[in-house]
Amino acid sequence: MSANRKSMLSSAIISRAIRDSFIKLNPKTMAKNPVMFVVEIGTFIVLLLTLFPGYFDTKDDIGFNLTVFLILLFTVLFANFAEALAEGRGKAQADSLKNSKKETSANKLVGGVVKVVPSTELRKGDVVVVAQGEMIPGDGEVIEGLASVDESAITGESAPVIKEAGGDFSSVTGGTKVVSDRIVVRITSDPGESFIDRMISLVEGAKRQKTPNELALNTLLSSLTIIFLIVVVTLGPIAGYLDIDLQIPVLIALLVCLIPTTIGGLLSAIGIAGMDRVTQFNVLAMSGKAVEAAGDINTMILDKTGTITYGNRMASEFLPVGNASIQEVGAWSAISSVRDETPEGRSVLELMKKQLLTFDESIAAGSDFIEFKAETRMSGVDLKDGRKVRKGSVDAVKKWVTAQGGSIPTDLDGGSDSIAREGGTPLAVAVDNRIYGLIYLKDTVKPGMRERFEQLRQMGIKTIMCTGDNPLTAATIAREAGVDDFVAESKPEDKIALIRREQADGKLVAMTGDGTNDAPALAQADVGLAMNSGTIAAKEAANMVDLDSDPSKIIEVVSIGKQLLMTRGALTTFSIANDIAKYFAIIPAMFILAIPEMKALNIMGLGSPLSAILSALIFNAIIIPLLIPLAMKGVAYKPMSASKLLSRNIVIYGLGGIIVPFIGIKLIDLVVHLWI
């Protein structure tokens, strides 16, 4: 974890959580949690019985009633504290972001003239100029220039990143700072809709929606609460018919111990903490549903460029084919790249200078630039004299040349295969119906990827790499990275088709990417993780954004998703299991005086009926704060089969949920009995 991640137990967060615990006692807030709302109503009833015993004509022991009231009050407060503590780190981060979100001036271009306006006046489509030392006034895309940008306000990392026009590294975020050079930015969001605005809203939980599993569990807990409420309400008249006097505080104590208060008090905190743990890894989750879905992922599809590899493919060599010379290959490559603003295009011109090759720039003057498209997989220029120059994937250029009646050099495929076997990307260069040679583009696999993919394999997750490269290059990169499968010469529609095929087989699919062409696939996937360094389109289509732009981060996201599901299941098992011990504590205590035979059920040997009831209530209250660290941190996850994982949790949290309360209630009774 990076140093900027806040400690869960910082004094500021704890003091804020304590304050919020009392604020959350508002019945409107408590009504959102049916289990704890019932406990709050019971607390209020016991308070009335304590304050006005004569008014209700009861024979209750005021001291006992007061004790029950305090225990129930702390039960509710502890549950509120768990939720407030889970929200605390998000609110602290939101406050930090709000402090960094200051109104700045913007150099807006109006009719070619720079006009200084407040950043709040900028709207989608406006164009601004940002120079060295200035803050970027809003989210946007670089349309001209190249600059180093300090994104520490967003990512927490001090190292600046390069942002440039064209390619997949053109998006910039409002509130970040240009530390070198000058860029022209087109604004892509209106006020209140920026990336930082969304971050603030999400991390402070203002828009947290309950996930389907959480809603289902809430329904189950509500049903159990209603059932036990009916049981307890009818128990009083039945006991009265048998001449057994059950006081209202005793019945309320029984109800609180019967209903699943432990998981009821921690359920919301578990969900909030799950999203917060993702945030602690510098991943912004747009919803809890995305985090939860990550825990059930079966297949992961990764874009190669910028995801598995660094993505900065640079021209490193010119390879002539046929009877062409290096000078001819270099010259036509440069002419096709004069107006190409992509990193690859600029690297061609840099390679020309490095190899001291020359070309006549006047040939390209007034030409029509043909942009690269995923469908054609080529770019180039149409010259004024009618000649057409193209560079692109070897297969695409071969088809283009053949369509114009040209022939394919015999050594073209050999040179292309040689580059591909070395993990590079070959680009063919052609003029009209003749192919002159190849440009060798080099890319590098990010370190540690093989180990990461092995971890995913142990989790039972299949990895598939999608790339526009030819099969040989794709196979080399796939082998080096350690992915399970790959799809070569992939187009945007191919990625969507692959995701749909996997989903049709009943699998949940995760997709990582950073380019505009990845956006449709990111939207189709169950979990879409976009790189923060990527385009605006990719980030808007995804349901998660990795602020560090590390595609291997999906492993942490998957682990956290599994932790979320396991933690919720484990604590639900523990909560329901520990009710068994509370039954054996309270039920004999309620009837032991009228029905002496009930002593046989007092297997814990509790001191007296009153101490038994209070001991069960106290344990019920203190178990919530004791489990808060587990709810916040999550159950430890180790890659293993689902059956082994289930058996392990049943033993630890099922059997443990039965044993721990027996021990805890007995120890508390030893103290309470002496006090009474």
Tokens 């006009």 belong to 115
The secondary structure of 596-624 as a DSSP string is: GGGGGG-TT--S-HHHHHHHHHHHHHHHH
Tokens 């602020």 belong to 547
3-class secondary-structure state, position 221: helix
Query: Is 544 known as a binding-site position?
Result: no
Alpha carbon distances (Å) from 615 to 12, 31, 47, 586, 619: 33, 27, 19, 9, 6
Query: Is 514 known as a binding-site position?
Result: yes
382 CB-side CA count, 13 A: 4
Question: What is the rounded distance in angstroms from the CA atom of residue 669 to the CA atom of residue 607?
Answer: 7
3-class secondary-structure state, position 389: strand
Closest C-alpha among 198, 197, 140, 143 to residue 173: 140
Q: Are 630 and 569 in contact (CB under 8 A)?
A: no
Query: Is 518 known as a binding-site position?
Result: yes
Question: What is the rounded distance in angstroms from the CA atom of residue 639 to the CA atom of residue 100?
Answer: 39
Q: Are 155 and 172 in contact (CB under 8 A)?
A: no
Q: Are 184 and 164 in contact (CB under 8 A)?
A: no
Query: Is 344 known as a binding-site position?
Result: yes
**Axis crossing angle, helix 471-481 with helix 449-458, rounded to the nearest 10:** 80
- β-bridge pairing 388-393 and 283-285: unpaired
The secondary structure of 512-553 as a DSSP string is: EE-SGGGHHHHHHSSEEEEETTS-HHHHHH-SEEETT--GGG
Query: Is 372 known as a binding-site position?
Result: yes
Query: Is 418 known as a binding-site position?
Result: no
Query: Is 666 known as a binding-site position?
Result: no
Q: Are 145 and 210 in contact (CB under 8 A)?
A: no
Query: Is 378 known as a binding-site position?
Result: yes
Burial grade of 389 (CB within 10 A; 0-12, 13-18, 19 or more): buried
Question: What is the rounded distance in angstroms from the CA atom of residue 368 to the CA atom of residue 241?
Answer: 97
Residues in Cβ contact with 38 at an 8 Å cutoff, skipping those fewer than 6 apart: 225, 229, 255, 259
Continuous H helices in 52-61: none
Give catalytic status of residue 303 as yes or no: yes
In the set 150, 168, 276, 303, the catalytic residue is 303
Burial grade of 180 (CB within 10 A; 0-12, 13-18, 19 or more): middle
Alpha carbon distances (Å) from 635 to 5, 87, 283, 559, 656: 20, 19, 20, 11, 14
573-607 burial, b at 16+ Cβ within 10 Å, e below that, comes to bbbbbbbebbebbbbbbbbbeeeeeeeebbebebb
Query: Is 391 known as a binding-site position?
Result: yes
Residues of each annotated binding site = 340, 344, 372-379, 391, 514, 518
Q: Which residues are catalytic?
A: 303
Residues of each annotated binding site for Mg(2+) = 514, 518
Residues of each annotated binding site for ATP = 340, 344, 372-379, 391
